[in-house]
A = this chain, B = another copy of it.
Amino acid sequence: MKTIVIQGLGEMGGSLAAALYHQHHIIGVDQNTDIINEACAKQIIHEGTTNLSAVAGKADVIILATPVSVILSTIKTLGQLVLKDDVIITDAGSTKQSIFEQAKITFDQQYITFIGGHAMAGTQNSGLDAVNPTLYQGVPYFLIPIDKQSKQNVPELKQILQSIGANFTEIDTQQHDDLMAMISDVPHIAAFALVNAAVKQLGDAQVFGQYVAGGFKDTTRIAGSNAKVWTDILLSNQDSIVDSLHVYTEALKEIEIALTNGNRLELEALLSRAQDSRQHLGEKA
């Protein structure tokens, strides 16, 4: 049994606490004492405080599950404290680049291990009401070491977090950024752009939207995502996104050329390749 300090008891942090509650001693940190009291009453945490500094020294693992801006200042704070020798700090921040940079600056010359965390989980909901102990079950969960020492401790962190039921995968920061660009960021851009193009071509979405079928709706569903959040996410992964976006526009161009030339064979080959890949997406080979 380890002592795990979790800062931020929203959907991500609270669900981690709930899923780890029966294996470990969970200390919740939140700025709101009502939330701490409620989380104790609901058996999501064993104890709680508004003051991270008062409990950080007891922690085997510290999980930072607040907005990114708070994670950045918390990392600086943690750099000033005396922590356990073998402490592991990880995060659940929605963007990674600035967190990794700050962690490298703060912890590089120290004994402290920082491992980035990124679960492909989460809903549109937020706060303690969104807490769900099975949120991470079967979900891809990336562990992203930022240096050699951090890499050595990935198996230990996996072991400690085992009971959340996620599919942990170790991945380096560049691989992580490239993967997210292609499977998450570019699809969002594709969806946002498709809605903007349809409005430009057809006018008010309230009107043409009456005629759309499931295909348009599915393809653009994530265009309904929060624009402010996604502006932050996209700006934090600029380089990888621009690369992946070029691969995407080339793939569009290939189809356009085959179509313009009336090249049935080539067009069907391009569509078949996509159909086949989509139908076997994520199936074990």
Chain A residues in contact with chain B, CB under 8 A? Answer: 120-121, 140, 142, 167, 169, 178-179, 182-184, 186-202, 204-213, 215-228, 230-231, 234-235, 238, 241-245, 247-252, 254-256, 259-260, 262, 264, 267-268, 270-275, 277-285
> Are B231 and A264 in touch, CB under 8 angstroms?
yes
Given the complex, which residues of B lie within 8 Å of A225, measured CB to CB? 275
Contact A200/B282 with A184-B216, A212-B183 known, Cβ cut-off 8 Å:
no
Other-chain residue from B188, B193, B256, B268 in contact with A215 (beta carbon distance below 8 A)? B188
Among A219, A262, A267: residue with most chain B CB under 10 A:
A219
Given the complex, which residues of B lie within 8 Å of A215, measured CB to CB? 184, 187-188, 221-222
Given the complex, which residues of B lie within 8 Å of A275, measured CB to CB? 192, 223-227
Given the complex, which residues of B lie within 8 Å of A251, measured CB to CB? 193-194, 196-197, 200
> Are B224 and A202 in touch, CB under 8 angstroms?
no
> Are A264 and B244 in touch, CB under 8 angstroms?
no
